[in-house]
Structure 1
């Protein structure tokens, strides 16, 4: 994020020489696009940090882990969003260099090229920025294929510029402009090139070494990164497919060409052969065309204002604390199919949990803290055998 911001700021502050070209005028929208992505990425990272902080203060270990898992969609979105941001900055750097130093490269063509690249990125960026678990997971799984397309676009732009400058007799300028660019993303991270007569293989694997995961003779990700990912996967914060997609992207174009459903052996070896690693992330719908399970608010919606007064706002809004239940279980904890009759039963969830919270508050003689409420909710979720795996619900 910091590297991308530094490059974007430098490009935005560079004044176009009199009579020259640069990333101003019609190209300004592309710099603004970069700034817009930085805004939501910083929001996602800030939200994940806030949730991690809340998790560390909760006394109940199960609730602590559940709150930490709520940061997962934000972490995954930020991980892949920063890759796309760095890639976009690469395209801006190349375009800026060509506008300034390659008069043979048409302004209109460069504008159209950037517009096409932006169009490739936008659907995935929209899915990531939504911070929705299912949309984000689908976007993460599709990222290696997208990065392959972007790499192809970058190479095509690179080749077209070199051809244009060579035809214009500017061979040395071409070399200087195109080779002096310092790119910060993964676009130039391809595996060692084979001899000219050899065909590129698409089955290069990943192996685990003491320094991290290797592809060919190059370190793809460090051992520290692998250990961090292993812990997050085992805790259920992020999914194995997302980690796999990230490693493929860092592995370069050869790994991007592999089917995204397959988990590279080196990644599995690095993460460890545990049930958490073997288990793929389950989607919200029950896999075979079944209807979506009801989402149960563990903190009753009709008491939203009461919870807001006690700190449940923003990232900790009560809509964040929903769980998916089978329809029969959802009806059971609410006293049957008729919710009005269910409310007359003392054991009905909404009535029971509010009674427990209000009794605790009267006993303490002051408003309950957010952490105390979470502990009480966690205790009762265990009593009612409600899984402590939260998903975002709606206000309906």
Structure 2
């Protein structure tokens, strides 16, 4: 088992990476929003404002998601039990994955906004109505995935992230189609020199940037092919190079169960260009396997859903008893730390056993029944302490009893009230 400290640092490093990318996107979007229209009154204002606003609304949930992941990492550092700390770090996973891919998609949307702004200002032959319709069509493609990523549902987030390579392939095609149409319009209008200048500008504006990884300061490790738009709209053969630090960060997060290997695979497929974007989610690309150690365990991993993992019908057990929700809320279990976040999947027989059998009413009579036992233990701990237990103290006590009952510390959100 990895050191909880190392996993927490890798989690914080990944959050920082996405945060920096998000700040850059926010700066670009704000610059576009603040630019006055050109002399011909063409710019990203008027009817086009709704597309700038779309980017702004995505920034809001992404900032919230990163804040939530950061808060959970802070809670993990204070628990004082390494097993429970790793479990809470795993709870950051869906948030981190949502932020990674949401930031990628938002960066791509801002690329389209920059493209539209350049054409509105420098291509008078390009009709505003057509460009408006083009952005509307692209927005329709990205909105469902953004909705899934912002849902907070771990399964929807995982599915959206692993499906992103195909979507990015479609967006690459859309971007190139708009550019080629603009070039044709300028050629028809006799503005060949202007067309060449604008196309050169647009090639610099966008490479459909990924929010991670960054160019390496040292110790490079090549994983694949870079996403670079050539003048003809074909993904050029520039190599994607990432730092050894990024590779190690991903390895730690995957092996600790914070993020999934299929998600890392999807990220590299996106970087790899159109061919890899279109690949079905089957065996992982060789570069990903090598970067993560290429162990038999990694080679045996496939993209799989909950059903593939064989746990789709396993009941969820509330580690912190639901009937005492208000008791836990008074001790800090609210928001991201709500007791519904602390569920584990158990085989049905195991679940019934810790509750004293199939009849929960009879089970409550047994002193060893989980809900009765854990509340007795927590109340006794408060009596010994002479004060109300802190959230960290409760989690440390619960972790000890989970080990005694052989309950895995792998939390999954359960149903609410």
TM-score (norm 2): 0.86
Cα separation, 1, equivalents of 2:80 and 2:262: 31
CA–CA separation in structure 2 for the residues paired with 1:214 and 1:286: 28
Supply the distance in 2 between the matched residues of 1:267 and 1:141 (Cα, whole angstroms): 14
Over 3 Å counting, the alpha-carbon distance change for 1:294 and 1:240 in structure 2 is same
Specify the alignment match of 2:139 in structure 1. Answer: 118
Of residues 83, 86, 90, the one that matches 1:62 is 83
TM norm structure 1: 0.90
Q: 1:371 aligned to 374, 387, 392, which one?
A: 392
2:112 corresponds to which residue? 91
Superposition RMSD in Å: 2.1
Conserved in 1, the CA contact under 8 Å of 2:282 and 2:302? no
Q: Is the 8 A contact 2:224 2:271 kept in 1?
A: no
The answer to whether the 8 Å contact 1:234/1:276 transfers is: no
Distance 1:39 1:292 in 2: 35
Which among 344, 353, 356 is matched to residue 377 of structure 2? 356
Of 200, 222, 229, 1:213 maps to: 222
Q: Which residue of 2 aligns with 1:183?
A: 205
Indicate if the aligned counterparts of 1:212 and 1:220 stay in contact, CA closer than 8 A: yes
Whether the aligned pair in 2 keeps the contact of 1:334 and 1:350 (CA below 8 Å) is: yes
C-alpha separation in 2, matches of 1:374 and 1:83: 35
Query: Cα distance, 1:123 vs. partner?
Result: 1.4
Question: Does 1:236 pair with 2:245?
Answer: no
Shift of the 164–282 alpha-carbon distance from structure 1 to 2, 3 Å rule, reads closer
Contact 2:223 2:268 (C-alpha < 8 Å) held by counterparts: no
Find the counterpart in structure 2 of residue 145 from structure 1.
166
- Kept in 2: contact 1:294–1:327 (CA 8 A): yes
Matching residue within 72, 80, 95 for 2:93: 72
Unaligned segments of structure 2, at least 5 residues = 1-21, 211-217, 226-237
Query: In the TM superposition, what is the alpha-carbon distance from 1:340 to its structure 2 partner?
Result: 1.8
Q: Is the 8 A contact 1:158 1:178 kept in 2?
A: yes
Alignment partner of 1:294 out of 315, 319, 339: 315
Runs of 4+ in 1 over 6 A off after TM superposition: none
C-alpha distance in 2, partners of 1:365/1:80?
47
Q: Secondary structure at the match of 1:180?
A: helix
* 1:220–1:251 Cα contact (<8 Å) kept: no
Aligned counterparts, 1:241-280, within 5 A: 241-274=262-295, 277-278=298-299, 279-280=301-302
Instruction: In structure 1, list runs of 5 or more residues that go unmatched.
Output: 189-208
Q: CA deviation at 1:254?
A: 2.8
How much does 1:328 deviate?
1.9
Contact 2:282 2:303 in 1 (8 A): no
Alpha-carbon distance in structure 2 between the residues aligned to 1:270 and 1:173? 45
Aligned length: 376
Other structure's SS at 2:412 match: coil
- Offset, 1:143: 0.7
SS at match of 2:284: coil
Once the two structures are superposed, residues 100-147 of structure 1 have per-residue CA deviations (whole angstroms, 9 ceiling, x without a partner) of 121211111111111111111111111111122211111111111110
Cα deviation for residue 277 of structure 1 reads: 2.9
Query: In the alignment, is the contact (CA less than 8 A) between 1:220 and 1:247 conserved in 2?
Result: no
Conserved 8 A contact 2:104-2:209? no
1:395 aligned onto 2:382: no
Separation (CA, whole Å) in 2 of partners of 1:57 and 1:90: 40
Distance across 2 between alignment mates of 1:247 and 1:354: 46
8 Å Cα contact 1:86/1:185 also seen in 2: no
CA–CA distance in structure 1, aligned partners of residues 28 and 223 of structure 2: 29
Equivalent-residue separation in structure 2 for 1:227 and 1:72 (angstroms): 17
